[in-house]
Amino acid sequence: MLGIFFNGLERSRGSVGAIANHAYKAWKPHLPEIGEFASSLLNSSAALDATQLCVGGTLETMVIVTKTDATAEQIGTVVKRIEAAGLKAQISTGEQHTVIGVIGDKSLLGDIPIESMSGVERTMPITAPFKLASRQFREEPTIVAVNGTKFGGKQLPVIAGPCAVESTEQIVTIAKLVKNAGASFIRGGAFKPRTGPYSFQGYGKSALKMLKAAKEETGLSIVTEVMTPHEVELVGEWTDVFQLGTRNMTNFYLLREIGRAQKPVILKRGMASTIEEWLLAAEYILAEGNPDVILCERGIRTFETHTRNTLDLNAVPVVHELSHLPIIVDPSHGTGIRSLVSDMTKASVASGADGLLLEVHHDPDHSMTGDGAQSLFPDQFTQLMQELKPIAIAVGREI
Ligand code: PEP
Ligand code: MN
């Protein structure tokens, strides 16, 4: 019966919140056994979710801040005590302190005197709904490094390329052009999430090989989208960074699988998602142990119809306030109109973006997706890269 209940929780989390709250009060003393039982039915993170749901959102996660001179052994001892109590521990190593995030019901720690354990400086609650993604968990910005290029520091990495990979010749030609203009990544979809089933869906695995050819020719790192959990392994063999697209931001199974993949991911904002929902999506990836999440603002749906989307540049400083994760901006999908892309790219840099994602095509009129209309010509891209330099310097960055 419990099994059915937990399965129910997985499927209809919103509607059972109130029942779960009552159930939680009665079951609280038995949570470790319930968690274990749920574990055998689902998997460990789903069980953790179910356990968290029982508290109906009142779950208090905390961080343990260790002393600057805490040893690895002392930190290891604290982590073991937390895990033995049935909670999950996530470590974040900062310049000054190592912090341990404790995920789960804090009351399970019972009488364990965490604050007086060797190496521990203090504990504090994380009040934000997202925990590992929050500034409370980690004060310093997270730097995501990919083959020597860093997101989240002084550098402003640029990812450029067509919407879809259409042929080896196409992707190699564009890769050479964007590399000469100063990009560090070639992008292009092999698996395309198209709104209609009859539209070009991408060349799949053969397109991954074409991207590899472009990488070999130019030395650029690859960014390409992964759409389903079962393709994470395949795409991960070819790409340097996963892209998780706007239509998949709430695909929680995909988020979890990428969380287990140990490879950086660009997590695009859902086109109808709030910043909080977006950070909660990032939390799914972080909670599985992958710390290398790069957020990407790509425009949201609003009542405005002139542009394809409304590029929400508020999101850049908001994310910087709420989270330590880097945030890049995609003005191509954010506007949908070529003539607007350069201005909005400049605005993105001025707003504090940690990088850029831009669609560039040498022959956009023959693009196989509808995104030719928002793709820059290579000459425009080259000019834009030059024009961005003084703006980057003005906000303390380098491009
Ligand atoms: C893309 O980058 O080509 C793409 C499909 O992006 P989004 O998921 O933002 O629509
Ligand atoms: Mn596109």
Residue 26: predicted pLDDT: 52
Q: Return the ligand 1 atom nearest residue 193 CA.
A: 5
Please answer whether residues 171 and 165 qualify as being in contact, where contact means their C-beta atoms are separated by less than 8 angstroms.
yes
Domain 61-126, second-level architecture? 2-Layer Sandwich (3.30)
**Ligand number, closest to the Cα atom of 268:** 1
Question: CB-side exposure of 2: number of CA atoms within 13 Å?
Answer: 19
Q: Is 60 exposed, middle or buried (0-12, 13-18, 19+ CB in 10 A)?
A: middle
Tokens representing 160?
A: 């450029």
Pairing of strands 293-297, 149-151: unpaired
Q: Return the ligand 1 atom nearest residue 163 CA.
A: 3
Which three-class secondary structure state does DSSP give residue 186?
Answer: strand
The CATH homologous superfamily to which domain 144-394 belongs is: Aldolase class I (3.20.20.70)
Q: Write out the chain's pLDDT in tens, 399 residues.
A: 333 333 333 333 333 334 444 444 455 555 545 544 444 444 444 434 433 433 333 346 789 999 999 999 999 999 999 999 988 898 888 888 899 998 887 788 888 889 999 999 999 888 899 999 999 999 999 999 999 999 999 999 999 999 999 999 999 999 999 999 999 999 999 999 999 999 999 999 999 999 999 999 999 999 999 999 999 999 999 999 999 999 999 999 999 999 999 899 999 999 999 999 999 999 999 999 999 999 999 999 999 999 999 999 999 999 999 999 999 999 999 999 999 999 999 999 999 999 999 999 999 999 999 899 999 999 999 999 999 999 999 999 999
pTM of the model: 0.84
Alpha-carbon gap, residue 271 to 288, rounded angstroms = 24
Residue 105: predicted pLDDT: 79
Pairing of strands 185-187, 158-161: parallel
Token pair 């003393």 is found at 29
**Binding site membership of 298 for ligand 1 (Cβ less than 6 Å):** yes
CB atoms within 10 A of CB 369: 20
Q: What backbone torsions phi and psi does residue 103 show, to the nearest 5 degrees?
A: -110, 125
Q: Return the ligand 1 atom nearest residue 369 CA.
A: 3
Listed by start position, the domains of the chain span 2-54, 61-126, 144-394
Alpha-carbon gap, residue 62 to 102, rounded angstroms = 5
Residue 6: predicted pLDDT: 36
Which three-class secondary structure state does DSSP give residue 142?
Answer: coil
Question: CB-side exposure of 210: number of CA atoms within 13 Å?
Answer: 26
120 CA distance to ligand 2 centroid (A)?
48
Q: Whose CA is nearest to atom 4 of ligand 1?
A: 245
Alpha-carbon gap, residue 260 to 289, rounded angstroms = 6
**Binding site membership of 131 for ligand 1 (Cβ less than 6 Å):** no
Residue 108: predicted pLDDT: 84
Tokens representing 322?
A: 């709420």
368 CA distance to ligand 1 centroid (A)?
14
**Binding site membership of 101 for ligand 1 (Cβ less than 6 Å):** no
Which of 222, 243, 374 should be mutated for ligand 1, with most atoms under 8 A from CB?
243
Q: Whose CA is nearest to atom 3 of ligand 1?
A: 163
